Amino acid sequence: MVPIAYYLVLSAILFSIGVAAFLIKRNIITVFMSIELMLNAVNLTFVAFAHQWHRVSGQIFVFFVMVVAAAEAAVGLAIIIAIFRTRHTLDVDQVDLMKL
Amino acid sequence: MTSSLHLWLIPLVPFAGFLVNGLLGRRFPKALVTAVALIATLIPFLQVANIALHYSSLTLPYTERVATWIAAGGFHADFAFAFDQLTLIMLLVVTGVGFLIHIYSAGYMAEEEGYWLFFAYLNLFMFFMLTLVLAENFLLMFVGWEGVGLASYLLIGFYFAKDSAAKAGKKAFVVNRIGDFGFLLAMFLLIAHFGTLSFSEVFSQVAQHPEWQGGFLTAIALFLVLGATGKSAQIPLYVWLPDAMEGPTPVSALIHAATMVTAGVYMVARTHSIFDRSPFALSTVGIIGAATAFFAATIGLVQTDIKRVLAYSTVSQLGYMFMACGVTAYSAGIFHLLTHAFFKALLFLAAGSVIHALSGEQDMRVMGGLRKKIPITFWTMTAAVLAITGAPGFAGFFSKDEILYQDFLSPHGGKIIWLVGLITVGLTAFYMFRLWYLTFFGESRAPKVAHDDHSHGHSHGAHESPWIMLVPLIILAILSLIGGWVGVPSALGGHNEIQHFLSPAIGAPQEAAEGSRSLELLLAAVSVAVGAIGWFFAHLLYFAKPELPAQLAAKVRGLYSLLLNKYWVDEFYGAIVVTPLLLVSRYVLKGLFDTGVITGGGLAAGYATQGLGSLVQRVQSGNIRSYAGWLALGAAALLLLTYFGFGTHLLFR
């Protein structure tokens, strides 16, 4: 049996990659994907712990996360399309009208 | 049973007059302003006169509680008025002389700016003075006490466009505050020891405890004396009164001669139960009185401004009243207060008439020869001069001799106070007759070139005052003549009615020993003789040989300039009190504390916040990704903290 630590380390690596990408990347779609990556890294820990403790609640939580992620993707992609149509760019640094 | 006397009306009517004239007077014609002010003073006078006429049917002392003012726990102070023999005398003086001076003012101030304001202030003064006299407790008395100070300040500074008048007003107010501070401390001690400020309760408690001698009663009495020296212009706080002569002359007569300045004497007489228990405080009063009487009289010898001579004379005469109080002869003090109110008010009003006649000139060196030009003023002034110098038969003779006699008898004061008082009689006679000769006799010394002082707007050349000013003078002259007859001592075949009259309220001095009638007569004769010597020198120097004073002044130049400069007391106070105070205020309080600590502290707080803000404002870039970065950094830091466990017990308890 694979020890739980392996899952957690993998999850942490994935999450960190997601955070780093979120901070570094300028393309909105990439930023969006990195958010998804972080969500899935968390999902992995949920599943790992659910398996470890033989609890089903962790797995059910993953479903909820997926549902939310799907809804978020739908809304988020719509926003991205709207931004592209009005601003003709996908660079987040160009979309800073709200900045001081 | 006495029916209600409605004492509350007495102070309230002048207050109504003040409100009417003060709020609406600007638009009133002068006649209406005059009518309001005079009626507002006449009504209290009539009421007091009515009470006096029904005196025999009264049960005294009478008190009247109008309303509760302050009630806190067991302590309460009321709007309560008291009436006894002492109050009656004071009320008659204040309303009677006050009314006469109101009439006079209508003539004297007729052509002044702010006529309505002047009468509003005068009525305000009457309100506070009557409150002071009628109050049944220390606190209400203090209200009047402060109020007359305020009215005095407003009226001294009436010609506020003149710098010296504005300064004199301020000086009077500030110096009086020092005395008021003493009064306040006395009240705190009274509350601490008696739990009440009511006169009747305090005095009955004192009466119930004959074992209380000195101690805290001395402390209370001394603080009261400090208050009295401020209001009654005694050493060391007399300096404001001569400067107060900057005010209009009727004000000098009403406030700075007849009524307000006697408040200190009244207060000592009123609280005599406390003073009786403290020989130390009594001797203090006596010594202050004697020193002030002598000191002020010597300054008065050489002053050249007619009103200043009278001001120092007032200080000196108030000293006599204190001398009387100092040997528990309160009734003699009040008697002198009464006669002094008549003749000193008359002196000031007559001086005002002289000043009026000379279109604002106050310097006696340029007067002279006015006897024929203003005869009525001359004759009334003569009556006043005779009264103050103690010419036999006149008012001052009886009251002053009573004081000197009581001082001579008293074991407290001893003969020294009497001797000082006696010398002062001579000095008084000298400076009063000096004033009299300089003003009315000889040739006119006015410069031939008509000086352009138009403060009264009259044409040049001396002229008699209008009748509205002369009638009060004549009435006061009559009172100066007969006013002393209420206190003719038994040695002269009288019954000293005023002493018997006052004795229920303020006690009588110890009975004179057997065979003292001849002593009293002897003392009276001595003081008249001393007064005559004073007159003789004045006659010699200022009538017979008018060139002599200048030679004499040159001979004793040091002494002369010492007196002329008023012993440099103002300069002395300036050097040891005022200048250090100003320097400390300017450099320590303002420079160091205000600018440095308060302003500087505020600025420092502002700059510190600004600097801190400019440091951390970089964080608020508005860039979402930098926020996310900070968020991730924070999360990582928290993670590390929890992982390595240091401080966790503090963070996540």
For position B451, what pLDDT does the model report?
46
Q: How many CA atoms lie within 13 A of B316 on its CB side?
A: 30
Closest approach of B632 to chain A, Cα-based (Å): 7
Q: Do B96 and B51 form a contact (C-beta atoms < 8 A)?
A: no
Query: Tens of pLDDT along B559-608?
Result: 888 888 888 888 888 888 889 999 998 888 888 888 888 899 999 999 99
Domain that holds residue A13: 4-87
State the CATH number of the domain containing residue A38.
1.10.287.3510
Integer Cα distance of B517 and B530 in angstroms = 20
Closest approach of A94 to chain B, Cα-based (Å): 11
Q: How many CB atoms lie within 10 A of CB B36?
A: 23
Least confident of A89-93, B122-126, B576-580: A89-93
Considering only residues B133 and B649, tell me which one the structure prediction assigns the higher pLDDT: B133
Integer Cα distance of B382 and B474 in angstroms = 11
Question: Has residue A13 been placed in a domain?
Answer: yes
Percentage of chain B exceeding pLDDT 90: 50
For position B509, what pLDDT does the model report?
65
Considering only residues B447 and B569, tell me which one the structure prediction assigns the higher pLDDT: B569
Question: Has residue A35 been placed in a domain?
Answer: yes
Strands B75-83 vs B62-72: parallel, antiparallel or unpaired? antiparallel
Q: What is the total residue count of chain B?
A: 653
Q: Which residue of A has its CA nearest to B620?
A: A100
Query: Tens of pLDDT along B455-484?
Result: 444 445 678 888 889 999 999 999 999 888
Question: Has residue A69 been placed in a domain?
Answer: yes
> Would you call A99 an interface residue with chain B, using a CB distance cutoff of 8 Å?
yes
Q: Is B1 helix (H, G, I), strand (E, B) or coil?
A: coil
Closest approach of A91 to chain B, Cα-based (Å): 12
Q: Which residue of B has its CA nearest to A35?
A: B628
Closest approach of B597 to chain A, Cα-based (Å): 37
Question: Has residue A67 been placed in a domain?
Answer: yes
The pLDDT confidence band at residue B647, using thresholds 50, 70 and 90, is low
- CB nearest B628 (choices: A23, A96, A99): A23
Chain B residues whose CB is inside 8 A of the A35 CB are none
pTM given for the model: 0.79
Question: Has residue A93 been placed in a domain?
Answer: no
Question: Has residue A11 been placed in a domain?
Answer: yes
Name the average pLDDT for chain B: 87
**Dihedral angle computed from the Cα positions of residues B223, B280, B296 and B311, in that order, rounded to the nearest 10 degrees:** 40
Chain B residues whose CB is inside 8 A of the A99 CB are 621-623
Question: Has residue A51 been placed in a domain?
Answer: yes
Integer Cα distance of B386 and B584 in angstroms = 49
> Would you call A21 an interface residue with chain B, using a CB distance cutoff of 8 Å?
no
Q: Which residue of A has its CA nearest to B636?
A: A16
Could A96 and B628 be called an inter-chain contact, meaning their C-beta atoms sit closer than 8 Å? no
Question: Has residue A94 been placed in a domain?
Answer: no
Q: How many domains does chain A have?
A: 1
